[in-house]
Copies of this chain bind each other. A is one copy, B any other.
Protein backbone atom coordinates (compact mmCIF):
# COMPACT_ATOMS: atom_id res chain seq x y z
CA UNK A 1 0.00 0.00 0.00
CA UNK A 2 1.43 3.34 -1.07
CA UNK A 3 1.47 5.84 1.81
CA UNK A 4 1.58 9.49 0.73
CA UNK A 5 2.87 10.57 4.14
CA UNK A 6 6.22 8.96 3.77
CA UNK A 7 9.53 10.11 2.29
CA UNK A 8 12.64 8.12 1.42
CA UNK A 9 15.93 9.73 0.47
CA UNK A 10 19.00 7.98 -0.88
CA UNK A 11 21.97 10.16 0.00
CA UNK A 12 24.65 9.06 -2.45
CA UNK A 13 26.60 12.33 -2.59
CA UNK A 14 29.12 13.45 -0.01
CA UNK A 15 28.97 17.21 -0.49
CA UNK A 16 27.79 19.67 2.15
CA UNK A 17 25.30 21.40 -0.15
CA UNK A 18 23.60 18.14 -1.15
CA UNK A 19 23.58 16.90 2.47
CA UNK A 20 21.97 20.20 3.52
CA UNK A 21 19.30 19.77 0.85
CA UNK A 22 18.65 16.20 1.99
CA UNK A 23 18.36 17.13 5.66
CA UNK A 24 16.24 20.22 4.98
CA UNK A 25 13.76 17.98 3.16
CA UNK A 26 13.99 15.26 5.82
CA UNK A 27 13.45 17.55 8.83
CA UNK A 28 10.70 19.56 7.11
CA UNK A 29 8.90 16.37 6.07
CA UNK A 30 9.24 14.85 9.55
CA UNK A 31 7.86 18.02 11.15
CA UNK A 32 4.87 17.76 8.77
CA UNK A 33 4.21 14.25 10.04
CA UNK A 34 5.89 12.25 7.27
CA UNK A 35 7.67 9.04 8.16
CA UNK A 36 11.18 9.63 6.82
CA UNK A 37 13.86 7.07 5.97
CA UNK A 38 17.31 8.09 4.79
CA UNK A 39 19.53 5.52 3.10
CA UNK A 40 23.21 6.54 3.02
CA UNK A 41 25.41 4.99 0.37
CA UNK A 42 28.80 5.62 -1.28
CA UNK A 43 30.07 9.17 -0.58
CA UNK A 44 26.91 9.87 1.43
CA UNK A 45 28.33 7.60 4.12
CA UNK A 46 30.81 10.37 4.95
CA UNK A 47 27.95 12.13 6.72
CA UNK A 48 27.70 9.15 9.09
CA UNK A 49 31.39 8.57 9.76
CA UNK A 50 32.70 9.20 13.27
CA UNK A 51 36.16 10.61 13.00
CA UNK A 52 37.38 9.46 9.64
CA UNK A 53 37.96 6.21 11.53
CA UNK A 54 37.92 3.03 9.48
CA UNK A 55 37.11 -0.49 10.63
CA UNK A 56 39.99 -2.21 12.38
CA UNK A 57 40.35 -4.95 9.82
CA UNK A 58 40.84 -2.77 6.76
CA UNK A 59 43.43 -3.82 4.21
CA UNK A 60 46.00 -1.60 2.54
CA UNK A 61 43.79 -0.65 -0.40
CA UNK A 62 40.94 0.29 1.93
CA UNK A 63 43.35 2.36 4.03
CA UNK A 64 44.50 4.24 0.93
CA UNK A 65 40.93 4.85 -0.15
CA UNK A 66 39.98 5.86 3.39
CA UNK A 67 42.77 8.40 3.44
CA UNK A 68 41.60 9.97 0.18
CA UNK A 69 38.03 9.89 1.37
CA UNK A 70 38.70 11.13 4.92
CA UNK A 71 36.35 13.69 6.43
CA UNK A 72 33.03 13.73 8.25
CA UNK A 73 29.84 15.75 8.49
CA UNK A 74 31.96 18.64 9.80
CA UNK A 75 34.34 18.78 6.87
CA UNK A 76 32.31 18.03 3.74
CA UNK A 77 33.28 19.90 0.57
CA UNK A 78 30.94 21.85 -1.73
CA UNK A 79 30.02 20.62 -5.22
CA UNK A 80 31.28 23.97 -6.54
CA UNK A 81 33.65 26.70 -5.37
CA UNK A 82 35.28 24.39 -2.86
CA UNK A 83 38.69 26.10 -2.96
CA UNK A 84 40.25 23.64 -0.50
CA UNK A 85 37.64 24.35 2.14
CA UNK A 86 37.21 28.12 1.73
CA UNK A 87 33.87 27.65 -0.05
CA UNK A 88 32.31 25.49 2.68
CA UNK A 89 33.58 27.92 5.34
CA UNK A 90 31.92 30.80 3.46
CA UNK A 91 28.69 28.81 3.19
CA UNK A 92 28.75 28.06 6.91
CA UNK A 93 29.27 31.74 7.73
CA UNK A 94 26.37 32.73 5.47
CA UNK A 95 24.17 30.16 7.22
CA UNK A 96 25.18 31.39 10.68
CA UNK A 97 24.43 35.00 9.67
CA UNK A 98 20.96 33.91 8.59
CA UNK A 99 20.43 31.90 11.79
CA UNK A 100 20.14 28.69 9.79
CA UNK A 101 20.83 25.36 11.46
CA UNK A 102 24.18 23.78 10.55
CA UNK A 103 24.38 20.27 9.12
CA UNK A 104 25.21 18.62 12.50
CA UNK A 105 22.33 20.56 14.11
CA UNK A 106 19.92 19.48 11.36
CA UNK A 107 21.01 15.89 11.80
CA UNK A 108 20.27 16.14 15.54
CA UNK A 109 16.84 17.66 14.86
CA UNK A 110 16.03 15.04 12.28
CA UNK A 111 16.71 12.32 14.84
CA UNK A 112 14.49 14.05 17.42
CA UNK A 113 11.75 14.06 14.80
CA UNK A 114 12.13 10.33 14.22
CA UNK A 115 14.01 10.27 10.91
CA UNK A 116 15.61 6.85 10.39
CA UNK A 117 19.24 6.49 9.26
CA UNK A 118 20.11 3.38 7.23
CA UNK A 119 23.70 2.72 6.11
CA UNK A 120 24.33 0.68 2.95
CA UNK A 121 26.11 -2.56 3.89
CA UNK A 122 27.56 -3.11 0.43
CA UNK A 123 29.25 0.29 0.25
CA UNK A 124 30.50 -0.03 3.84
CA UNK A 125 31.96 -3.38 2.97
CA UNK A 126 33.85 -2.05 -0.06
CA UNK A 127 35.14 1.08 1.65
CA UNK A 128 36.00 -0.72 4.89
CA UNK A 129 33.53 0.85 7.33
CA UNK A 130 31.99 -1.29 10.07
CA UNK A 131 29.32 -0.36 12.63
CA UNK A 132 32.00 1.01 14.98
CA UNK A 133 33.19 3.51 12.38
CA UNK A 134 29.70 5.06 12.09
CA UNK A 135 27.94 7.43 14.49
CA UNK A 136 25.62 5.90 17.11
CA UNK A 137 22.53 7.40 15.46
CA UNK A 138 22.61 4.86 12.61
CA UNK A 139 19.59 2.60 13.07
CA UNK A 140 20.69 -0.24 10.88
CA UNK A 141 23.16 -1.39 8.25
CA UNK A 142 21.10 -2.82 5.42
CA UNK A 143 21.26 -3.66 1.71
CA UNK A 144 19.48 -2.20 -1.28
CA UNK A 145 16.59 -4.64 -0.79
CA UNK A 146 15.65 -2.98 2.51
CA UNK A 147 15.69 0.43 0.89
CA UNK A 148 13.46 -0.83 -1.93
CA UNK A 149 11.09 -2.35 0.61
CA UNK A 150 10.65 1.13 2.11
CA UNK A 151 10.49 2.93 -1.22
CA UNK A 152 7.72 0.76 -2.62
CA UNK A 153 5.45 1.93 0.20
CA UNK A 154 5.67 5.60 -0.65
CA UNK A 155 5.38 7.93 -3.62
CA UNK A 156 8.05 10.44 -2.60
CA UNK A 157 11.42 8.81 -3.26
CA UNK A 158 14.43 10.97 -3.98
CA UNK A 159 18.01 10.16 -5.03
CA UNK A 160 20.39 12.93 -3.99
Contact = CB atoms under 8 A, between A and B. Distances in A.
Interface of A: 1-2, 4-5, 7, 10, 12-14, 17-18, 21, 24-25, 28-29, 32, 34, 41-43, 59, 61-62, 64-65, 68-69, 79-81, 87, 90-91, 93-95, 97-98, 100, 122, 125-127, 143-145, 147-148, 151-160
A1 to B, nearest CB: 8
A76 to B, nearest CB: 12
B10 A158 contact: yes
Contacts of A151: 155-156
Given A145-B28, A160-B159, A4 B68 contact: no
In the complex, the 3 A-B pairs of residues with the closest C-beta atoms, listed nearest first: A28-B144, A155-B155, A158-B159
A14 B98 CA distance: 22
* Chain copies in the assembled complex: 3
Contacts of A97: 59, 61
B94 A69 contact: no
Contacts of A32: 145, 148
A94 B65 contact: yes
Given A43-B79, A155-B155, 9 more contacts: A2-B2, A5-B152, A24-B122, A32-B145, A32-B148, A61-B90, A61-B94, A68-B81, A98-B126
